[in-house]
Structure 1
């Protein structure tokens, strides 16, 4: 059906292009102007690098015939003299929704899991709709087209902004006069993607970004399987996806982190997306460049915050404040790093703010040439349309702007926007520029007048004897009308002025008094005295910063009214230094590994040597090099550790910090998703955990379903990018869950519509999945063709002892059940986490060979935890179970040293064994004990220097070191607090100045950081 629609659309376009001449025409004369039109004596930007002074542009039938200095003008050509004016190619927006309505949002009530295809003959997920086509839904909107044309656009690439796979876009010229048969340049111009679900669907999967990534991966695998003719059924979605492979693939990421995620998906399947960024690419420019992607960049800059309330301003994060300061330099930094990009008006409340923000980007250092490329030749090239749009080369569409001068100057006027040879007048180019200061005398009284704005929106300020007069002004056809109040402000009487303004410097006419008497009126524009360089800079700053009002269309008018000296600013604006991460406590430069020698420390080895007094430890090349007395190394930084304790770094087996998503609860199994896809390298909890001596964590999927997603095991390398946090050759883990959460007993009535609903249903689900995985694995190993199923691949890895289960568990009956299921399928459970009834089954756990990662003393926070006791860890440990103490909490995780000490109190565990509960034992459970968990020659230099006994409530982590790199240092932390205070003061002063200039500000909204636990759901995806 959709193929038929597309064919009809193509036929329509062709028919319209070649057959409209003989259509009946009853709405006017039939004669169409086919004459040549020549625009002479203009500065013509054929391309951003090919500029013709005093040139001629010749067009005919909506196309460029020639451009140059010696263009032969045919007879009967309409000639327009543009002396002193400029011609630019019209702009192109690659990411638009022009003329395409977004589907209506389905009610969140009754969102359901995926039981089967809801659309016969299409892909099983409603959120995958490559068969959709913007041309089928497109309706030209003349009003919005005019707004876009005022912003300089002549062509937009529009699409349906709905779903994860959104179908094809349509390349449209904003031609207001001819029909779609002319204005549709390409009905199938690009394929669009995103991480956001369709608003029209009630399907609950995916419910997270990692779910969206998994869905895309499975879809690409299925499309390949389908393309090879292996499917027994028809799938119109996969057919469309394969058919659209040759188009440019555009991914609406919307942020730097999501851009990295989109590129990761694309790389796995040999697809290079063009990525819609978020304007924050400057924060990790090396990573952005490494994607090799081209970017579509929004220029929706932040307003300054209203920081007058000193109490509220304390809650502002420095990262939000820096975004206001640094964001406008994003394009400049992209250009400096050789990254190809184009601009979009996407996300602006009004196209009016596009040009003020674009000018602001230029003021922040973006070259005008690169800015013009980003608006013209780059999008044309990315769309494969360089011969048709984006330049004024011979044969291109006659899409061009006529301006009063440099389009990147504030005072420049955009007179006309021609699209496919059709003129739209935005401002009469023959109208005089009356803005400026005037002086005149009426009946012996001297007046001073300032006119601001544009000819269609002039505003006046009139004073006499220092007294401001109320006034209004209008201007049309070289005549200006002004009304102003009389000197006696108590009476509502007006003096009316009418004058001719044909020469632009003088006003000649009459003044009409309230009593009807008339007098001659003459006003002359006066030249301003030359300003100092400082005054020029201040005035330029004031005008440019008006673009901070980017979210308010009225603010753009205010920006237009600001006076700006014609002289170009010679220096880019100063921005705050970018740090890694670009927030509080970030590094100006990423720290490097050092050779460190700790002298006279109390060393907790966690090995057979136990605790060594007055011992030296040498760290070299990221490894523990030597342990002993009187060590020396001429290249080492010597650290006096006398009276201090040196331990291996704390390891948290169960954490949910440093991730953008935790649960994918849309299905009862989400083995296909991975926390590695959603690591958040800017989570301040990374730094806070370092301050608590934590060096490694396992970020576990949540407990929304019996079979959860795959884990991420990371080192807390503060400042590094997300991918660089993950362990090299990381062991493979997956989260399983038992109990109340997975059967949705605490999800509310509307959510309880997914199997299983009982604990016995959970057992049957496991048996079903492992049975299917066993059959899948056998087929895969047979060498016969098989459909790659990521979910089955992951579960097969469990059966093959290649992936390990960390299972959320509480009640002994379920703990026994899962061990029985594992025995049935001949594999072992690796870890029971939470395991608060572990003391009841410790003997069975030891026999099975499963470890226990538990809380020290949490209990009674829900019904199934009522039997928890603080002796749990000690009892399991004494039974021979490998025991760890975990956090499952962003706050507790930075006090795990004290949590370990509780096992000394509750159960009499030795100090050394208790310390292993948060170091060596979790390393063993995570299969990384060959690298970390103890101080042993050859292991990674992941160590912590404590000011006191490591389990003391008085102990502080003085230095936290990972692979020889100091990521936390108490002295640096103290210094950074002072630096942050200074930076915030500078930014607050800048924002105060912005408000004092009359610029719009945004209110401070206190942001509460989400503390993620096992049951945290990613509500943004629902």
Structure 2
């Protein structure tokens, strides 16, 4: 093994066509073929845009010598006549795991028992999931069987890597040369550096356990790498050295979906790194966001099968988004190309490589031009890898990597004969095999037969009929001889007629037929040609050809397959076009101002430029759309201070502090709960980190702008918040077998953890402000913001002793807790909360759902409110958040809170707690026009949100909702019909699996969408 590695290393230092020339010759006499090889009379694609008709390709020593029409052929040349054939450059796969086996998964139960901090490898980075020093070449073992499968799909070169870890090290560029050794086939031992959001299977380190944790780890790693590169470290770190050394390579990020691709680009942009991104095939859904990344993409062609929708009951459970994906995915490549986004194709994620070309042809049928398709297979991956002079074309000096086909590579009927890699031939189909496909007629014993031969020349399929009845038949073809067996006409037992025949010109078959009783007859069949077609057949053919010509003329301007319209978001209730801001005038409404004016009867409200412009009677504006609000109620939009909807993951529980992570990284703009909340009058929410650890992650405060991208949901100049937590969850007393056995395990340990982290952050902040060199620590930066009163704490809390404890810790470090959320024992400490200056965001009437809430009472909100605490009612639940208007009403019943004050519990008060009350929470001139028009008293069980408006844009409308329900039913019916057609054509279908939407709460763990 060491000899082989040494030989490979030497060959990379000084590469020649035959690197073994300097090896000792101890194995007898060998003769090497140094002749030229010329392939003549072919249609040659030198590149996708440079095409030579009737050209010659001349190669020698595995390289292209010249390609052209007027090629001088040297004397010592083997000439292959390719008249009628086509030559293409072999394909390149940039994202492969060819020959590199994944490591075994770490054994043992639980989520991981290795220490939270500290590497398991001395001298390397602290996270086992960061392995830039890893090299695919060290684990590479050429796989001849898989190589043959890839060559059958047209590939000649793959860029392989170890698909394990967040930072995966370098890949290796390999030619699929099955004849030579690694010293020839390895083009580049360190071709690219690979990344992902997924942890290493070989490590049991528990951090990170979420996408936001992976993003935070990457940011800290890049910051550390810059610090290390500047010579600040007193110790050696082989991982950071490798990361810095690999910066010059192409950086490939295995995102695997549109959303994760945008997240990856966000990380890269922060450090001036432009990733090449492995997509998910769903980029078409937000093509403008994908284009804005300025990234090149690697695109899989793993289209999903139609669903088996014959069971009407089961088909009702299918989501429109899943059904649309089946219809729309094949158009992804065309949409990318139309938007000028550079991309390459990959076999990644295909269950079988043999499906690659059929799926690629399907993409072409959906409108992708053949030129763009060929570029994505050849010149673009070569360019992205920095290897345009070596692979991806048939220009002078390139490797002799090419395909010989019977015609257009994107035609289903085309046969791929040979795949040449580095001048070495692999025969896939014999070019000399006669093409017997076509229609034949013959007679046996006075009976007329029709025979149709289909398929590849080497793998024929026969269909034989007589008297318009189909006979069972099988056929084989070898060395110009065919053998056919077919069933007899009338026998009750299965008996066969056996035919053996020879062909010399591909048009006639001569031989004999042997009957079941042993009698023999002469057999003769002739392939029908155009002259023998009936006039009816000619007419049908002419009509078909005319249609084909029309389609060819339209090919460049229209798709040949119809797809469902893409909506925003691309699912049920999505907008065909994003709704626009309007000037709106509400007339004669009952207006709940939440200001000193209180509730105004028969009042008009004018909305202009996304703001509340005027409030009064008899208002008018010639440009406004007038809405009659007579008998209806207009309020500020509902605000949920504590929510977990619209996020891809909630908890990063791998460490006892995850201040470095942020929910803003994992906003899910396609969560249907956004729309459902709008239907309940909710316009703003705070998405909080969960309660898996005492110091959680940073919050995201968003407006529910249904249809907008994730970044556009976040408040401008958003206030800075972070989630803290107390109680059972953080000390892991209720985690069962999933416990990580990390510190803290007790409530007193939680207090000590806070003191420790604040003490460390105070020292860190002092060093940072001193002007002396320091290592940037994102976690400490965030905690220091709390000490500097730049970031607010929203703390998950239940028991009064812990509530008192955290207030004392905060006062010790001279800051205030902003909000105690849940706070079901707030009524016990309301006076202390008032003195400390902390607000309470609570449930209306939850109690007794776990031990530490046994003392909860429904009067909690009223008691805190009466003590002068700013009180809000929150949901912590995707279902309850749709009816916070009714939750507010419970405080009128329990505690006698006035209707106006109770309504503020879900509007103005949460706005105050979130420090956004200067913008939202009340109807006041100058504030954002985030309003709801209710059909009835807003706290009535009969009230419906008729219109929910954010910044003058109507994101929910009751009438539109009714229309959309009918539209969704219609679209699903159309798609079901298309899926039924697909199944009837014999296409593969997938079973329906009912999906239950997960409603995330504070303690929901590992909702990771890698």
Shorter chain as normaliser: what TM range?
A: over 0.9
* Structure 1 residue 32: Cα displacement: 1.5
Aligned to 1:555: none
Aligned to 1:91: 91
SS at match of 2:895: coil
Aligned to 1:821: 809
Separation (CA, whole Å) in 1 of partners of 2:210 and 2:376: 33
TM-score by length of 1: 0.95
* Structure 1 residue 106: Cα displacement: 1.2
Deviation track 1:500-525 (CA, whole Å, cap 9, x = no partner) reads 22322221222222343332211122
Separation (CA, whole Å) in 1 of partners of 2:723 and 2:547: 59
* Structure 1 residue 27: Cα displacement: 7.6
Is 1:985 the counterpart of 2:984? The answer is no
Is 1:576 the counterpart of 2:564? The answer is yes
Separation (CA, whole Å) in 2 of partners of 1:287 and 1:639: 34
1:450–1:461: 8 Å Cα contact kept in structure 2?
A: yes
Separation (CA, whole Å) in 2 of partners of 1:670 and 1:664: 6
Aligned to 2:134: 132
SS at match of 1:491: coil
Closer/same/farther in 2, CA of residues 569 and 602 from structure 1, 3 Å limit: closer
Aligned to 1:927: 915
Aligned to 1:11: 10
Work out which of the residue numbers 642, 646, 650 in structure 2 matches 1:654.
642
Is 1:514 the counterpart of 2:516? The answer is yes
Is 1:791 the counterpart of 2:779? The answer is yes
* Structure 1 residue 233: Cα displacement: 0.8
Separation (CA, whole Å) in 2 of partners of 1:1019 and 1:535: 56
Separation (CA, whole Å) in 2 of partners of 1:5 and 1:75: 37
Closer/same/farther in 2, CA of residues 69 and 713 from structure 1, 3 Å limit: same
Give the alignment of 1:264-303 within 5 angstroms. 264-303=266-305
Closer/same/farther in 2, CA of residues 568 and 538 from structure 1, 3 Å limit: farther
SS at match of 1:601: strand
* Structure 1 residue 452: Cα displacement: 1.9
* Structure 1 residue 751: Cα displacement: 1.3
Deviation track 1:811-847 (CA, whole Å, cap 9, x = no partner) reads 0000000000000000000000000000000000000
Separation (CA, whole Å) in 2 of partners of 1:577 and 1:667: 44
Closer/same/farther in 2, CA of residues 342 and 446 from structure 1, 3 Å limit: same
Separation (CA, whole Å) in 2 of partners of 1:797 and 1:571: 54
1:537–1:569: 8 Å Cα contact kept in structure 2?
A: no
* Structure 1 residue 465: Cα displacement: 2.2
SS at match of 2:439: strand
Closer/same/farther in 2, CA of residues 277 and 19 from structure 1, 3 Å limit: closer
Gaps (5+ residues) in structure 1? Answer: 545-563
Give the alignment of 1:402-481 within 5 angstroms. 402-481=404-483
1:217–1:265: 8 Å Cα contact kept in structure 2?
A: yes
* Greater CA drift, 702-711 or 67-76: 67-76
Closer/same/farther in 2, CA of residues 571 and 836 from structure 1, 3 Å limit: closer
Give the alignment of 1:473-492 within 5 angstroms. 473-492=475-494
Separation (CA, whole Å) in 1 of partners of 2:201 and 2:542: 52
Deviation track 1:857-878 (CA, whole Å, cap 9, x = no partner) reads 0001100010000000000000
Work out which of the residue numbers 754, 760, 781 in structure 2 matches 1:766.
754
Separation (CA, whole Å) in 2 of partners of 1:670 and 1:888: 20
Closer/same/farther in 2, CA of residues 1021 and 343 from structure 1, 3 Å limit: closer
Is 1:850 the counterpart of 2:838? The answer is yes
Deviation track 1:42-74 (CA, whole Å, cap 9, x = no partner) reads 000000000000000000000000001001111
Deviation track 1:355-388 (CA, whole Å, cap 9, x = no partner) reads 0000000000000000000000000000000000
Give the alignment of 1:142-291 within 5 angstroms. 142-291=144-293
Separation (CA, whole Å) in 1 of partners of 2:882 and 2:84: 67
Deviation track 1:183-208 (CA, whole Å, cap 9, x = no partner) reads 00000000000000001110110000
Closer/same/farther in 2, CA of residues 1019 and 694 from structure 1, 3 Å limit: closer
* Structure 1 residue 244: Cα displacement: 0.2
Is 1:737 the counterpart of 2:725? The answer is yes
Separation (CA, whole Å) in 2 of partners of 1:651 and 1:369: 52
Is 1:63 the counterpart of 2:67? The answer is no
Aligned to 1:313: 315
SS at match of 2:697: strand
* Greater CA drift, 853-862 or 450-459: 450-459
* Greater CA drift, 466-475 or 569-578: 569-578
1:9–1:136: 8 Å Cα contact kept in structure 2?
A: no
Deviation track 1:77-118 (CA, whole Å, cap 9, x = no partner) reads 111111111000000000000000001111351413513221
* Structure 1 residue 570: Cα displacement: 7.8
SS at match of 2:579: coil
Separation (CA, whole Å) in 1 of partners of 2:544 and 2:727: 69
Closer/same/farther in 2, CA of residues 994 and 568 from structure 1, 3 Å limit: farther
SS at match of 2:612: strand
Closer/same/farther in 2, CA of residues 700 and 79 from structure 1, 3 Å limit: same
Aligned to 1:747: 735
Closer/same/farther in 2, CA of residues 752 and 428 from structure 1, 3 Å limit: closer
SS at match of 2:847: coil
* Structure 1 residue 1020: Cα displacement: 4.1
Separation (CA, whole Å) in 2 of partners of 1:880 and 1:71: 93
* Greater CA drift, 86-95 or 520-529: 520-529
* Structure 1 residue 252: Cα displacement: 0.2
TM-score by length of 2: 0.96
1:13–1:182: 8 Å Cα contact kept in structure 2?
A: no
* Structure 1 residue 14: Cα displacement: 4.7
Separation (CA, whole Å) in 2 of partners of 1:918 and 1:29: 90
SS at match of 2:658: coil
Closer/same/farther in 2, CA of residues 19 and 376 from structure 1, 3 Å limit: closer
Separation (CA, whole Å) in 1 of partners of 2:161 and 2:127: 20
Is 1:104 the counterpart of 2:104? The answer is yes
Aligned to 1:561: none
* Structure 1 residue 268: Cα displacement: 0.3
Deviation track 1:849-907 (CA, whole Å, cap 9, x = no partner) reads 00000000000110001000000000000000000000000000000000000000000
Separation (CA, whole Å) in 2 of partners of 1:784 and 1:381: 44
Closer/same/farther in 2, CA of residues 24 and 501 from structure 1, 3 Å limit: farther
Closer/same/farther in 2, CA of residues 530 and 633 from structure 1, 3 Å limit: farther
1:898–1:952: 8 Å Cα contact kept in structure 2?
A: yes
2:648–2:1007: 8 Å Cα contact kept in structure 1?
A: no
Separation (CA, whole Å) in 2 of partners of 1:514 and 1:120: 78
SS at match of 1:461: strand
Separation (CA, whole Å) in 2 of partners of 1:255 and 1:536: 40
Separation (CA, whole Å) in 2 of partners of 1:568 and 1:928: 51
2:433–2:458: 8 Å Cα contact kept in structure 1?
A: no
2:165–2:195: 8 Å Cα contact kept in structure 1?
A: yes
Separation (CA, whole Å) in 2 of partners of 1:216 and 1:84: 54
Closer/same/farther in 2, CA of residues 884 and 91 from structure 1, 3 Å limit: same
Closer/same/farther in 2, CA of residues 317 and 754 from structure 1, 3 Å limit: same
Aligned to 1:361: 363
Is 1:33 the counterpart of 2:53? The answer is no
SS at match of 2:811: helix
1:745–1:752: 8 Å Cα contact kept in structure 2?
A: no
SS at match of 1:418: strand
Gaps (5+ residues) in structure 2? Answer: none
1:9–1:135: 8 Å Cα contact kept in structure 2?
A: no
Closer/same/farther in 2, CA of residues 25 and 537 from structure 1, 3 Å limit: farther
Separation (CA, whole Å) in 2 of partners of 1:62 and 1:783: 60
Closer/same/farther in 2, CA of residues 915 and 450 from structure 1, 3 Å limit: same
Closer/same/farther in 2, CA of residues 45 and 116 from structure 1, 3 Å limit: same
* Greater CA drift, 435-444 or 105-114: 105-114
Is 1:830 the counterpart of 2:818? The answer is yes
SS at match of 1:374: helix
Work out which of the residue numbers 610, 614, 617 in structure 1 matches 2:598.
610
Separation (CA, whole Å) in 2 of partners of 1:766 and 1:269: 31
SS at match of 2:151: helix
1:13–1:180: 8 Å Cα contact kept in structure 2?
A: no
Separation (CA, whole Å) in 1 of partners of 2:912 and 2:22: 82
Separation (CA, whole Å) in 2 of partners of 1:327 and 1:343: 14
